[in-house]
Amino acid sequence: MRTIDQLDSPAVLVDLDVVERNISTMAKRAEGLGVELRPHAKTHKTVEIGRKQLQAGAVGLSVAKVGEAEVFADAGFEDIFVAYPVIGAQKARRLLGLAERIRLLVGVDSVEGATGLAAPFQAAGRELEVRLKVDVGFHRVGVAPDKAVETARRIAEVPGLRLEGIFTHAGQSYRADSPEAVAEVGRHEGETMVEVARQLAASGIGVTSVSVGSTPTAPHAMKVSGVTECRPGNYVYHDATQVSLGTCRRDDCAMTVLATVVSTPAPDRAVIDAGSKTLASDPLRPGSGGFGWIQGGSSHLARLSEEHGVIEVAEADRYAIGDRVRVLPNHACVVSNLHDRVYGVRGEGIEAELAVAARGRVS
């Protein structure tokens, strides 16, 4: 078996023991609460890890892009939710192609957008299953809860569409400043969605799915009775942001980036061969903690250029030219999207080279 020390750097490593533990922990939690799990595949974008999620009981996958859905459908995944307000005639035709071979669900948050998707389905004598996005406080996309009934009613009347459910993503949890505040965001997420579903039912618009989901809020939102589905994504790898939020411990993080020290120009500065094109330059949320933590010490990356990562060397740490380090990234999902492959490791052994099959599928 090849070992990590045989790999050239930079390279993305994912610890498969940790991945499998994260998948199993979330699957058991959902099962215990009677909630279906539909993990968001944007985090790993790999067929093999998607399969592990299904083997652990997930009902299907969520994705953000039609292109991602196409990759997973080609790989044999049969139940996919494009959890994004898809817009435009070109994408509508691609959705029809997908719906002819898998069970497809698509997000909508406007009557105009939904109507635009319906045309090819109506022409083909089919119905597209859609879910209405509700904004529970992230204020990105989604209708306000008090507008949901009216929008749902109009969407349900569009020929060629079937309103299957409602969904949300409480991304404001990433701005919470304590685990208690995260829990509160999660409770609010679940309760708001269940209340919207109740109002829809009272107006004669029954929906099957009440779908919530972010990694920080999943344990809390899933506890709310009436929530039927959860779509966490990041949990499969976790990252420095989840550790900072208190969502997980450092040893629950599966992804690290292997890098080499290429320069030590000053005692408090060492430079590695991984910059923003390898690690992405997402900030640590919450707080300002640089651009990645160096494993096995207390130093962190203070600055990134495209191909340089500048370590601010902590007093107890020492780095020499040629040293190999492993960086815990701030945001694992964007790192996946930067790489053609990740190495699945157990201990020092490389068990698998996984193609990041859906990377770059941004349309």
Would you count residue 190 as binding ligand PLP (CB under 6 A)?
Answer: no
Selected binder of ligand PLP within 16, 61, 83, 243 (CB under 6 A)? 83
CA separation for the pair 68, 363 (Å, rounded): 8
The DSSP code for 9 is S
Shortest approach of ligand PLP to residue 189 CB, angstroms? 11
Shortest approach of ligand PLP to residue 235 CB, angstroms? 6
Residues 202-231 touching ligand PLP, rule: CB under 6 A, are: 213-215, 231
CA separation for the pair 13, 259 (Å, rounded): 11
| Closer residue to ligand PLP in complex, CB, 233/275 | 233
Residue with tokens 């996984």: 354
* Helices (H), ranges, 246-317: 276-279
Would you count residue 233 as binding ligand PLP (CB under 6 A)?
Answer: yes
| Closer residue to ligand PLP in complex, CB, 10/213 | 213
| Closer residue to ligand PLP in complex, CB, 121/167 | 167
Would you count residue 232 as binding ligand PLP (CB under 6 A)?
Answer: yes
Binding span for ligand PLP by CB under 6 A among 9-17, 67-75, 119-127, 232-240 = 232-240
Give the x/- contact pattern for ligand PLP in 47-76, rule: CB under 6 A.
---------------x--------------
Shortest approach of ligand PLP to residue 238 CB, angstroms? 10
Pick the closest to residue 48 from 352, 267, 316, 362 (CA basis): 352
Would you say 76 and 63 are in contact if contact means Cβ atoms under 8 Å apart? no
* Helices (H), ranges, the chain: 16-33, 47-55, 66-74, 89-99, 111-123, 148-156, 179-202, 218-221, 240-245, 276-279, 332-336
| Closer residue to ligand PLP in complex, CB, 107/344 | 107
Shortest approach of ligand PLP to residue 1 CB, angstroms? 32
Would you count residue 186 as binding ligand PLP (CB under 6 A)?
Answer: no
Residues 251-310 touching ligand PLP, rule: CB under 6 A, are: none
Q: Which amino acid is at 255?
A: M
Q: Which amino acid is at 22?
A: N
Residues 1-40 touching ligand PLP, rule: CB under 6 A, are: 40
Shortest approach of ligand PLP to residue 192 CB, angstroms? 15
**What are the structure tokens assigned to 143, written together?**
């209708």
Question: For 261-274, b where at least 16 C-beta lie within 10 A, e where not — what string?
Answer: bbebeeeeebbbbb
Q: How many residues bind ligand PLP (CB under 6 A)?
A: 12
Give the x/- contact pattern for ligand PLP in 322-351, rule: CB under 6 A.
------------------------------
Kindly report the number of other CB atoms within 10 A of residue 287's CB atom. Answer: 11
CA separation for the pair 37, 32 (Å, rounded): 11
Please name the helix (run of DSSP H) or strand (run of DSSP E) that holds residue 271, with its range, or none: strand 269-272
Shortest approach of ligand PLP to residue 268 CB, angstroms? 34
Q: For 267-340, list the strands marked E by DSSP.
A: 269-272, 293-294, 300-304, 309-312, 324-328
Pick the closest to residue 278 from 43, 14, 8, 11 (CA basis): 11
Which chain residues interact with ligand PLP by CB under 6 A?
40, 62, 83, 169, 213-215, 231-235
